[in-house]
Amino acid sequence: MNLYASILLAAGHAYAAQPLWGQCGGIGWTGDTTCVSGAACVFSNDWYSQCLPSSSTTIRPSSSSSTTRPVSTTSASTSTATGFVDLAVAAGKQYFGIMIDNSDLEKPEYMVIAGNTHIFNQATPGNRMKWDATEPSRNQFSFSAADALVTWAQSGGRQLRGHTLVWHNQLPAWVTNGGFNNATLVSVLQNHVTNVAKHFAGKLKTWDVTNEIFNEDGTWRQSVFYKTIGEYYVDIAFRAAAAADPNVGLAANDYNLDTTNGKVAAYVALVKRLKARGVKITQVGSQAHLTVGQTPSFNSMVSALNSLVAAGVDVAITELDIRMQLPATSAKLEQQKKDYNTAIRACMAVPRCVGITIAGYTDKYSWIQNGAPLPYDENYRPKPAYYGIIDGLKGIADT
């Protein structure tokens, strides 16, 4: 208990115990550190301890290697505590971020951690900037949902990544099945990219202009855009985005860029061709949807990122998660910790890897069903993976 609370208690003014899901500790917290009956005050991170149902919790975080971290009520001035963002920025990265959706903003218990800018200072909208959300009918644009996310992100000075202008998924049927010829689809594409990029101009750091345009072997994905327009649809999209928002970074984003495979080679070659044709591309985003126990080695991940950088772009890890086959045994959780640590260290080892975004943060909400892929468990407690990330950001290898 802090001094202020002690004085109040001595004077006969007791705080009410905190309610279920309420805050009960953390740096700067001056409220009560006890919880109502049936709830326990559980360390979540250095800025936040939370009253969680006591039947399902222990007072300590669920890391086998970090079992003594207490509920923290220390003041910021005396604390050496560091969150993902503090560590990432201290190591020269721009940000540590989270993929987030409008529905998340409505969950107060979710936003306590998601909204803490010591933990996440960058955001990528999970769905609301995609084509089906922004242009559901031809030339009818809809931005209100994405605007709400932008407003929230800006309120905390968070960096924003636009996701995504051109993708074969979450593409409305009027585009996929429109039967457009080359000239018409070119104009549909230019119109979409121009309107969406103009709407958000000045508000985003980087756009995922394209998403998942290659197959695993480096051949072109046979999307409606490729089949109708050919490779130059990529040029058209990047040129339109650059014209609409001259200062935004322009990225190609994809998964399975974690080893020096055929897809990485395809991006290296594409970046060179685009540059040779005078098309602006500033980054390749590596989604990094990984699997526990099958995460590539540190050297493989670093080599893949370095090959992309050598083509003349920055890189970023854009949607990191590491799934497992349930049930989550302690061995799998420890392996997940190592795998997160490996992925984080790979970005740390590449100076032009500008930052890391994870695809949500709690296993309670993930696009992967039943894979426990994130660093906090379903009760918002840090898992071993959380400490794998912390170690990675400090440059410590969990072996």
**Helices 298-310 and 262-276, interaxial angle, to 10°?**
20
The residue number with the shortest CB distance to ligand 9MR is: 126
Residues recorded for the chain: 399
* Cα 4 from Cα 106, distance rounded (Å): 32
Of the pair 22, 126, the CB lying nearest ligand 9MR is at 126
Which residue lies nearer to ligand 9MR by CB, 33 or 362? Answer: 362
327: preceding bond cis by omega (within 30 degrees): yes
In single-letter form, the type of residue at position 49 comes to: S
Size, binding site for ligand 9MR by CB under 6 A? 9
Q: Do 129 and 146 contact (CB within 8 A), yes or no?
A: yes
For residue 75, the minimal CB distance to ligand 9MR (Å) is: 37
Q: Which of 369, 399 has the CB closer to ligand 9MR?
A: 369
Burial 304-325 (b: 16+ CB within 10 A, else e): bbbbbbebebbbbbbbbbbbbe
Rule CB under 6 A: is residue 97 a binding residue for ligand 9MR?
no
Q: How far is the CB of 390 from ligand 9MR (least distance, A)?
A: 24
CB of 188 to ligand 9MR, least distance (A): 21
Nearer to ligand 9MR by C-beta: 47 or 131? 131
CB of 334 to ligand 9MR, least distance (A): 26
Residue 83 or 126 having the CB closest to ligand 9MR: 126
Task: Report, in Å, the least distance between residue 317 CB and ligand 9MR.
Answer: 12
| Among 106, 319, 334, 378, the one annotated catalytic | 319
Structure tokens at 276: 């040779």
Interactions with ligand 9MR, residue window 184-213 (CB under 6 A): 211
Q: Which residues, 209 to 268, sit near ligand 9MR by CB under 6 A?
A: 211
42, HSE (Cβ side, Cα atoms, 13 Å)? 26
Query: How many Å from the N-terminal Cα to the C-terminal Cα in the chain?
Result: 37
Amino acid at 116: N
Which bin fits 177, alpha (ψ -120 to 50), beta or left (φ > 0)? Answer: alpha
Name the residue type at position 154.
Q
Q: Is the dihedral of CA 216, 217, 222, 223 positive or negative?
A: positive
**Contact letters (x/-) for ligand 9MR, 44-63, by CB under 6 A?**
--------------------
When the beta carbons of 151 and 169 are compared against ligand 9MR, the nearer one is: 169
Token digits of residue 7: 């004085």
Q: What secondary structure letter does DSSP report for 168?
A: S
Q: How far is the CB of 287 from ligand 9MR (least distance, A)?
A: 5
Q: Should residue 170 be labelled a site residue for ligand 9MR when binding is judged by CB under 6 A?
A: yes
Residue selected from 6, 65, 75, 169 as contacting ligand 9MR according to rule CB under 6 A: 169
Per-position x/- string for 356-385, each x denoting binding to ligand 9MR as judged by CB under 6 A, each - no binding: -----------x------------------
Q: Per CB under 6 A, does 124 bind ligand 9MR?
A: no
The answer to the question of residue 126 lying near ligand 9MR (CB under 6 A) is yes
Greatest distance between any 2 Cα atoms in the chain: 79
Q: Does the active-site annotation cover 319?
A: yes
Closest approach of ligand 9MR to the CB of residue 177, in Å: 18
Q: Is 202 exposed, middle or buried (0-12, 13-18, 19+ CB in 10 A)?
A: exposed
Q: By CB under 6 A, is residue 287 in contact with ligand 9MR? A: yes
Report residue 260: phi and psi, to 5°. -80, 75
Q: What residues are annotated to the active site?
A: 319
The footprint of ligand 9MR (CB under 6 A) covers: 99, 126-127, 169-170, 211, 287, 319, 367
